[in-house]
Structure 1
Amino acid sequence: MQTSEGVRCAVPGSDVLGETPLWCEQTQSLLWLDIEQARLQRFHPASGRHDVWQFDERYLGTLALLRRPGRVLLGIDLALETFDLGTGAREKLCQVEPVGTDTRLNDGRCDSRGRLWVGTMDNQLARGSGSFYRVDPDGRVHRQFGDVIVSNTVALSPAEDRLYFSDTRRYITWRFGLDVAAGTLGPREVFVDYGGRGRPDGACVDSQGYLWNAIFAGGRVVRYAPDGTVDRVLTLPVSNPTCVCFGGPDLRTLYITTAQRFLTRAQLRAQPWAGSLLAVYLEVPGLAERRFGRD
């Protein structure tokens, strides 16, 4: 089954807070998280295989591919750890914020130098206690700025001269100049101001430099031109899309994670795909995911 927009259900599920889909070109598989059930998941479209790794911690907040095959980087509560998909071995890379802080890691993205740009967020969804960081391959953590409620929409332009970032609960997406060689951000400018009516969540950039942004509680994914104007709106049969990425052999499949969080029983009955992994085929391809670490 698919919608009039061409959206189909790729993996039926019940993710409380599905998030952070990433396409691994090496294995031709998609990885993503259920943040609130602390689950890492992998889907191999060619075989239909769906693997799930369960963790005992409270949150799995962010995910990145590693340059070393068969491993990923996970944001576990407030620490970053490497995880071996084959053996289950874990190794702590760094503690981003102190244990006991009422925050957690959230959305992040790697640059071509193998660094992770990642934010933290307030667990109460109201206070500006989160921050945004650059984490180097050796585990050094560099705070960029604070006063963040819910960090999201971390995405880089194809030339890596722009970085996008949203504070979901401030209803704004900003754009920063990025010097990728130095690993520094320029001044911020407003890219999209939702005026308190839209919650910008996870995003990715396609090969034309357009930003695809999931709008949580808005039932849509929006494609923004580089100047911030709306280019396309993809309506969805679920209220809570959370993040997007391009995958498939030609990077023309847009995968969309979704959430059941905040939905009533009546809404869940009316939205059977809520908490599932959705997909839609598009004409414009995406970009290969950049990986964490050194060669």
Structure 2
Amino acid sequence: MKQPEITCVQQVAAQLGETPLWCTRTNSLWWIDIEQPRLWQLDPETGEARSWAQGGTYLGSLAFTRSGARLLARDLDLVTLDTDTGVETHFATTPEERHPATRLNDGRVDRHGRLWIGTMDNGLREGLGHLYRVDPDGRMTAFYDDVIVSNGIAFDPDGRHMYFTDTRRHVTWKVTLDAAGEVPVAREILADYSATGERPDGACVDADGCLWQAFFAGGKVVRYAPDGRIDREIALPTSNPTCLCFGGPDLRTLYVTTAFKFLSEAQLAEQPLAGSVFAIEGVGQGVPEHLFDI
């Protein structure tokens, strides 16, 4: 299949760019830099970008809410931020974790307005993390343990299946939820890269129910058909794509965040756009992000 056109839409040196989400209210792309903690907003039409520096050590992920505030995972806390006023409000603190050994990482809101988010080992070696369901009343319920780096949370269009990745175990699972969408009842391996050491990272699902996933240190994004076959692979101009989402007025532009983390000086010289945000046209159509119900 022909390689699509790839455009750098925001040239920026993100140490660990992540969690791109398209906001239909503002018609703009939102994303974060985890290790230089900052929330970004990009208007792709004008190229105008705004950002908000964040406290804490890590900004793990981002979600939209019904109120319009941004729900941010900072270290082991969830906080809301009103980007118009700058007002921050503490929402919840993750239980059962070993600070500073762990932190919150990738997350996504389901069709019922609940956030699913994982924790990870900051040392990238031990199974210290969990997967959590966060309810709108602030309760956090843990599922699965022995997670090293939680990642790639996404839901298929019918909401009955969730995708979940442990990047440092090199495995992506397809998780079946109960009828209420509250509890995982089964888990099967969608893709296992433990033999090759490839690192599946952030993910999203398109309108056809296909899973798109970025491969950190792999320089590519791939699409899995619902049956698990890889039917599309797109090379990126930098080694470390981290996550992706569909955006634009018709949700037909695939946006990809990247990172310069772990690249040597020689690699950075060869990849001057490492850490930037890219756009890929003509590869599919996405679905709107669900809103956390607060």
TM-score of the superposed pair, with normalisation by structure 1: 0.96
In structure 2, C-alpha distance between the alignment counterparts of 1:121 and 1:163, rounded to whole Å = 18
- Equivalent positions of 1:1-295 (< 5 A) are 5-69=4-68, 71-97=69-95, 98=97, 100-179=99-178, 181-194=180-193, 195-294=195-294
Describe the shift of the 1:53–1:99 C-alpha distance in structure 2 as closer, same or farther (beyond 3 A).
Answer: farther
SS at match of 2:292: coil
Opposite residue 282 of structure 1, the aligned amino acid is: G
Partners of 2:283 and 2:213 lie apart in 1 by 17
Contact in 1 for aligned 2:160/2:181 (Cα 8 Å): no
1-structure distance, mates of 2:196, 2:154: 22
After TM superposition, give the deviation of residue 184 of structure 1 in Å.
Answer: 1.1
Structure 2 residue identity aligned to 1:90? E
Instruction: Specify whether residues 182 and 172 from structure 1 end up closer, same or farther in structure 2 by C-alpha distance, changes over 3 A only.
Output: closer
The answer to which of 214-223 and 4-13 deviates more is: 4-13
Q: Is the 8 A contact 2:211 2:226 kept in 1?
A: yes
8 Å Cα contact 1:130-1:151 kept in structure 2: yes
TM-aligned CA deviation for residue 100 of structure 1: 2.7
Residue 125 of structure 2: SS of its match in structure 1?
Answer: coil
CA distance, structure 1, for counterparts of residue 178 and residue 146 of structure 2: 23
The alpha-carbon deviation at position 4 of structure 1 amounts to 5.3
Contact 2:3 2:234 in 1 (8 A): no
The answer to whether the 8 A contact 2:36-2:58 is kept is yes
Aligned residue pairs total 291
Q: Where do 4+ consecutive residues of structure 1 move more than 6 Å?
A: none
Alpha-carbon shift at residue 197 of structure 1 (Å): 2.7
- Give the superposition deviation at 1:45: 1.5
Greater displacement, 92-101 / 218-227: 92-101
User: 2:4 touches 2:281 (CA, 8 Å); kept in 1?
Assistant: no
Q: Deviations over 1:61-93 (max 9, x none)?
A: 011001112x11000100100000111111111
Residues 4 and 282, structure 2, Cα contact 8 Å, conserved in 1: no
Alignment partners' CA distance in 1, 2:81 and 2:133: 20
Contact 1:105 1:118 in 2 (8 A): yes
Aligned-partner Cα distance in 1 for 2:242–2:137: 30
CA drift at 1:142: 0.4
Q: Is the CA contact (8 Å cut-off) linking 2:109 and 2:116 kept in structure 1?
A: yes
Q: Give unpaired runs (5+ residues) of structure 1.
A: none
- Counterpart of 2:82, as a letter, is D
Kept in 2, the 8 Å contact 1:21–1:255? The answer is: yes
Q: % of aligned pairs identical?
A: 51
State the alpha-carbon separation in 1 of the partners of residues 161 and 99 from structure 2. Answer: 33
- SS in structure 2 at match of 1:37: coil
Q: 1:4 & 1:273 partners in 2: Cα distance?
A: 19
Instruction: Supply the distance in 2 between the matched residues of 1:179 and 1:157 (Cα, whole angstroms).
Output: 14
Please give the TM-score of this superposition, normalised by the length of structure 2. 0.96
Taking the aligned partners of 1:99 and 1:149, their CA distance within structure 2 comes to 13
Say whether the 8 Å CA contact 2:177–2:186 is kept in structure 1: no
Q: Distance in 1 between matches of 2:82 and 2:277?
A: 23
Letter paired with 1:263: L
